[in-house]
C-alpha cells in the first residue's frame, strides 16, 4: 500500500473516551487535517483517563469512526501515585517503538507538557525518521515541580519547532525554557461551530434567536460553566459570586456546571446545600460532545474563573454559540477575549458580581455581546484556519 503523503502522530497521556480541552483540540485538529488534505492521523496515548484512572480493559489499538487511529500503552503498576496530573508509572519504551514503527509518522506532535516519558522515548526512537513539533500549553510551574522545568527545556530544544498558543505564552516559553524566537511559532486553537442538531430554544419577542439561548416559561436564564471540577477551574469561586449576585437578578437564573472530579464534586455539593441552592445550581457531570453542544445552545451566559488559562478553548466554543463570556484577567484571557466578553480584574469578586448582574438584567447588553462573541469566534478561531497553519508548519520543518 502506498504511503499517505503526510502522516501525523499526536501524543497525549489521555484520549478517547476521555476528552478534556487538550484532547478535544487534538481531535478537532485531526478531523480538519484529514478533511482538508490527504493526511493520516493517529494518537499515541495510555490506558488511563483523567486523573490517572486505569482502564486495562481498553483495547491496544482502535480506530475512531472518523478514522483517527488510537494506540494505547499499558502502565505498570496499574495504579499511579496521586502526585501529578499524568500517571507516574512505567510505560514500555519497546511498545512505544512498535507503535511508532507501525504508524510510521512523518510528523510527531506533542500536545501538552506533562507526559515527558512518552515525549522522550518517541523522540529517542524516531528522531532520525520524523520531524517533531511541541505545543506545550504553557503553565507557570509551582515550586514543587521544579524538576519538570529542565525536562521541558530539553524537549523544547530538541524538537524541530515549539508552538505557543498566544503571544503571551511565546514569551513565557522563551524565558522559562530558553527557546529562541527562531524556533517558535504561534498558533492558537479553534472553536467548534454550533452543531445544526443543537437547536437554540425560542427567543423572547424582539430577541435575536442566534444569541437568545433558552428562556423558560418563567423567564429563567442559564449561566453555563464548563471545566473539570476543582480549585484550578474556580467553580467554588463562581458559586460564591453567583450567591452574592442572586438578590440583584430581575428574573430566575440557574447556574449549570459541566465537568467531573469526584473529590471536588463532594465539596461543591456541600457548598450548594449549605446555602440552599439545590434548585438553582446544578452539577451535571461529564457529558457527550452532542450533549455539550446542546447545553451551549440552551444557555445564555458563559462564566468561568480559572486560576489560569493558556488559551481557554471552552470560551471560544461558547462564543461560537453566541454566548457572552464572563471571566477575569488571568493567563491569555486579556490578550484573546477582546470581543464578546467581559474580563474583570483577577479574582475581583465585586466586579464579577456586578458584571454578572448586568448580564442577567440588561437584555440588550447581553444580546449585543452574544452577537459580537459569535462573529469574533467564527471569524478568527476556526479549526480549518488552525489546520492550514499547522500544515504550513509541518511542511516548513520537513523542508
175-186, pLDDT tens digit by residue? 999 999 999 999
- Inter-CA distances, 342 with 56, 127, 184, Å: 44, 45, 30
Measured distance CA(188)–CA(166) in Å, rounded: 6
Q: In this predicted structure, what is the pLDDT of residue 93?
A: 98
Neighbours of 347 (CB within 10 A): 14
Alpha helix locations (H) across 37-162? 93-103, 116-126, 148-158
- Is the fold of 6-190+382-398 the same as that of 221-380? yes
End-to-end CA distance of the chain: 25
Give the span between the Cα atoms of 276 and 299, in whole angstroms.
Answer: 22
Q: What is the pTM of this model?
A: 0.83
User: What is the structure's pLDDT at 148?
Assistant: 86
Could you state, in order of their start, the residue ranges of all structural domains in the chain?
A: 6-190+382-398, 221-380
**How confident is the model at residue 230, as a pLDDT?**
86
Q: What is the per-residue pLDDT for 201?
A: 42
Count other C-beta atoms under 10 Å from residue 69's C-beta. Answer: 19
Residue stretches of the chain with pLDDT short of 70: 1-4, 195-218, 262
So what's the pLDDT on residue 279? Answer: 95
How many angstroms separate the Cα of 66 from the Cα of each of 31, 40, 186, 344, 391?
Answer: 7, 11, 28, 40, 19
**What's the angle, vertex CA 144, arms to CA 47 and CA 75, rounded to 5?**
15
CATH 3.40.50.300 fits 221-380, yes or no: no
pLDDT in the model for residue 198: 46
Q: Is 185 helix (H, G, I), strand (E, B) or coil?
A: strand
323, three cell numbers: 454566548
In our burial notation (b when 16+ CB lie closer than 10 A, e otherwise), range 133-167 reads bbbbbbbeeeeeeeeeeebbeebbeebbbbbbbbe
Nearest-angstrom CA–CA distance, 321 and 335: 21
Q: What is the CATH number of domain 6-190+382-398?
A: 3.40.50.2000
pLDDT of residue 89: 95
Amino acid at each position: 500500500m502506498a504511503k499517505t503523503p503526510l502522516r501525523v502522530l499526536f501524543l497525549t497521556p489521555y484520549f478517547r473516551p476521555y476528552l478534556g480541552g487538550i484532547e478535544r483540540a487534538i481531535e478537532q485538529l485531526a478531523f480538519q487535517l484529514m478533511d482538508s488534505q490527504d493526511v493520516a492521523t493517529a494518537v499515541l496515548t495510555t490506558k488511563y483517563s483523567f486523573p490517572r484512572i486505569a482502564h486495562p480493559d481498553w483495547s491496544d489499538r482502535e480506530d475512531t469512526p472518523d478514522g483517527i487511529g488510537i494506540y494505547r500503552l499499558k502502565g505498570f503498576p496499574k495504579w499511579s501515585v496521586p502526585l501529578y496530573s499524568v500517571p507516574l508509572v512505567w510505560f514500555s519504551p519497546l511498545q512505544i517503538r512498535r507503535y511508532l514503527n507501525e504508524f510510521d509518522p512523518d510528523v510527531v506532535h506533542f500536545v501538552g507538557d506533562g507526559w515527558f516519558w512518552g515525549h522522550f522515548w518517541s523522540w529517542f526512537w524516531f528522531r532520525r525518521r520524523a520531524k517533531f513539533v511541541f505545543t506545550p500549553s504553557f503553565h507557570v510551574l509551582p515550586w514543587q515541580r521544579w524538576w519538570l522545568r529542565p525536562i521541558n527545556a530539553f524537549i523544547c530544544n530538541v524538537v524541530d519547532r515549539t508552538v505557543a498558543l498566544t503571544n503571551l505564552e511565546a514569551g513565557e516559553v522563551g524565558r522559562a525554557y530558553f527557546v529562541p524566537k527562531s524556533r517558535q511559532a504561534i498558533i492558537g486553537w479553534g472553536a467548534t461551530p454550533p452543531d445544526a442538531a443543537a437547536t437554540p430554544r425560542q427567543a423572547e419577542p424582539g430577541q435575536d434567536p442566534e444569541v437568545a439561548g433558552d428562556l423558560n416559561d418563567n423567564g429563567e436564564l442559564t449561566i453555563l460553566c464548563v471545566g473539570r471540577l476543582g480549585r484550578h477551574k474556580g467553580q467554588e469561586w463562581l458559586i460564591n459570586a453567583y450567591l452574592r449576585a442572586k438578590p440583584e437578578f430581575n428574573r430566575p437564573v440557574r447556574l449549570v456546571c459541566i465537568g467531573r472530579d469526584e473529590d471536588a464534586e463532594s465539596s461543591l455539593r456541600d457548598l450548594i446545600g449549605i446555602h440552599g441552592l439545590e434548585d438553582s445550581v446544578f452539577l451535571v457531570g461529564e457529558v457527550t460532545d452532542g450533549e455539550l453542544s446542546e447545553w451551549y445552545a440552551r444557555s445564555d451566559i458563559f462564566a468561568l474563573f480559572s486560576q489560569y488559562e493558556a488559551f481557554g478553548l471552552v470560551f471560544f466554543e461558547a462564543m461560537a454559540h453566541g454566548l457572552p463570556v464572563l471571566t477575569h484577567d488571568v493567563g491569555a484571557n486579556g490578550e484573546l477575549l477582546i470581543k464578546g466578553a467581559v474580563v474583570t480584574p483577577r479574582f475581583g469578586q465585586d466586579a464579577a458580581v456586578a458584571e454578572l448582574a448586568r448580564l442577567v438584567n440588561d437584555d440588550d447588553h447581553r444580546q449585543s455581546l452574544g452577537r459580537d462573541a459569535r462573529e469574533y469566534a467564527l471569524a478568527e478561531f476556526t479549526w480549518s484556519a488552525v489546520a492550514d497553519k499547522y500544515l504550513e508548519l509541518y511542511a516548513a520543518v520537513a523542508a
